[in-house]
């Protein structure tokens, strides 16, 4: 669920400025070494295309490559990699292979991912000496790209294309500086990640929108019905202060709630099923929007915000979990990510609130609240069914493509 324009802008900028330094996806005569540098260990993987595997071990694999076809050559390929690559920093580290994955591509060569851990490493060194000679013996024009996929202190999170080094037949050994970073760089990277997650998370944005729409008006009883009930109407606020305090209460409740569950989930104290969490997050939009039509907690919207904000926090925690963050850095990660989320929220509120305040006195505004809330309810319930039951509404495919969800 993503908004279209920001990702497109980011992609365009990346294409314009980073193209000369980016890895091409398994182009001919290219292999890749990915490294993930954590606080006390280094993990990584080799990615080698099917034609290069055939050259390296004399196999005759054909497209589509399967794990069953690859299995007889795995030990030979692992031995080949170990003989032609190494890692050291005062002492040699042992490459211990873990899981293997075969990737099939429609328009490109199939390739294999061989994941590994460096054994013998007690603490991450300042500098890592890397030898990489894969395929140079059988393909003189071959090159190997080194990519730091994750390095918290260097502010690198989920990098899949920016190269740190290139190996070829004339350059088979290079040193990688692992101190080229700081806690501050890691912290600021998490701030950016938190802001980005809010901006591309349409469900989080719509939850805020559902809560913000009534911030510039107040619900007042219009008439008393025969059964003793009341008919309500929306009355615009008279001053900026009351509207601002309403939003401050809403944002504070959301912040406190998601910060609590983000922390307890990130430290592994509580775990919830991701499908359940995502479904409840979608349902929270419907409840907040329904409250705009039929009051559930009159003048206590913060209750809705706080209760469902707890589940939004579990959703945020899944983002940090994907980054593999642990150890002492977790405290910095939580703080940085939370700061980013709040900055992202503030910018969204600052973009929407002035417009709402300006049009609050128009006759159109009560209709905007009603029909806007109806739209949010329909959108949210579509997501609930889609996420809870893994059911795809074909009718919504065009809409989803337009909004990049």
Digit-by-digit pLDDT tens for the chain (405 residues) are 333 434 433 433 333 333 333 344 455 578 899 999 887 888 999 999 999 999 999 998 888 899 999 999 999 999 999 999 999 988 899 999 999 999 888 777 889 999 999 998 888 788 889 999 999 998 888 888 888 888 876 667 777 667 778 888 888 998 887 766 555 655 776 787 778 778 777 888 888 889 889 888 887 766 555 555 566 678 888 888 888 888 888 888 888 888 888 888 877 788 788 788 888 888 999 998 998 888 777 667 778 888 888 888 888 777 666 554 544 466 667 787 888 888 888 888 888 888 888 898 888 998 899 999 999 999 899 888 888 887 665 545 555 555 544
The answer to whether residues 316 and 195 touch, using CB atoms and an 8 Å cutoff, is no
pLDDT of 188 reads: 73
The span from the CA of 194 to the CA of 314, in Å, is 14
Name the H helices within 294-362: 301-322, 329-359
The span from the CA of 78 to the CA of 100, in Å, is 11
pLDDT of 166 reads: 81
The answer to whether residues 242 and 297 touch, using CB atoms and an 8 Å cutoff, is no
What the block records as the tokens of 137 is: 């013996």
- Would you call the peptide bond into 64 cis, given omega within 30 degrees of 0 as the criterion? yes
- Residue 80 is classified by DSSP as H
What the block records as the tokens of 222 is: 């219009």
pLDDT of 132 reads: 95
The answer to whether residues 334 and 264 touch, using CB atoms and an 8 Å cutoff, is no
- Residue 2 is classified by DSSP as -
The span from the CA of 381 to the CA of 147, in Å, is 41
The answer to whether residues 190 and 336 touch, using CB atoms and an 8 Å cutoff, is yes
The answer to whether residues 45 and 115 touch, using CB atoms and an 8 Å cutoff, is yes
pLDDT of 375 reads: 93
The span from the CA of 290 to the CA of 155, in Å, is 41
């Amino acid at each position: 669920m993503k908004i279209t324009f920001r990702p497109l802008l980011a992609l365009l900028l990346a294409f314009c400025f980073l193209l000369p330094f980016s890895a091409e996806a398994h182009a001919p005569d290219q292999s890749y070494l990915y490294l993930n540098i954590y606080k006390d260990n280094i993990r990584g993987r080799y990615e080698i295309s099917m034609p290069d595997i055939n050259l390296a071990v004399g196999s005759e694999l054909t497209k589509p490559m399967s794990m069953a076809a690859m299995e007889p050559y795995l030990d030979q390929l692992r031995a080949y990699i170990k003989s032609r690559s190494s890692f050291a920093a005062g002492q040699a580290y042992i490459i211990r292979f873990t899981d293997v994955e075969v990737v099939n591509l429609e328009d490109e060569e199939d390739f294999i991912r061989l994941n590994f851990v460096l054994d013998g490493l007690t603490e991450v060194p300042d500098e890592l000496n890397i030898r990489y000679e894969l395929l140079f013996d059988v393909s003189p024009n071959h090159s190997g790209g080194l990519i730091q996929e994750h390095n918290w202190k260097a502010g690198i999170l989920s990098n899949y294309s920016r190269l740190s080094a290139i190996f070829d037949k004339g350059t088979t050994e290079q040193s990688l500086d692992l101190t080229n970073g700081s806690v501050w760089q890691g912290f600021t990277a998490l701030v950016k990640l938190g802001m980005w997650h809010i901006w591309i998370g349409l469900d989080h944005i719509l939850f805020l929108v559902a809560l913000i729409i009534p911030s510039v008006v107040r619900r007042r009883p219009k008439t008393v019905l025969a059964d003793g009930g009341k008919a309500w109407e929306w009355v615009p606020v008279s001053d900026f202060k009351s509207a601002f305090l309403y939003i401050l209460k809403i944002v504070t409740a959301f912040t406190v709630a998601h910060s609590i569950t983000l922390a307890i989930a990130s430290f592994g104290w509580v775990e919830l099923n991701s499908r359940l969490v995502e479904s409840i997050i979608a349902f929270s939009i419907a409840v907040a929007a329904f409250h705009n039509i039929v009051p559930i907690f009159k003048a206590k919207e913060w209750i809705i915000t706080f209760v469902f904000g707890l589940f939004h926090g579990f959703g945020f925690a899944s983002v940090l979990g994907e980054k593999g963050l642990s150890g002492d850095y977790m405290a910095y990660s939580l703080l940085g990510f939370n700061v980013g989320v709040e900055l992202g929220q503030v910018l969204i509120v600052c973009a929407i609130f002035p417009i709402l305040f300006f049009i609050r006195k128009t006759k159109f505004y009560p209709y905007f609240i009603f029909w806007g809330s109806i739209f949010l309810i329909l959108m949210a319930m579509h997501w609930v069914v889609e996420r809870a039951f893994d059911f795809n509404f074909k009718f919504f495919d065009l809409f989803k493509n337009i909004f990049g969800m």
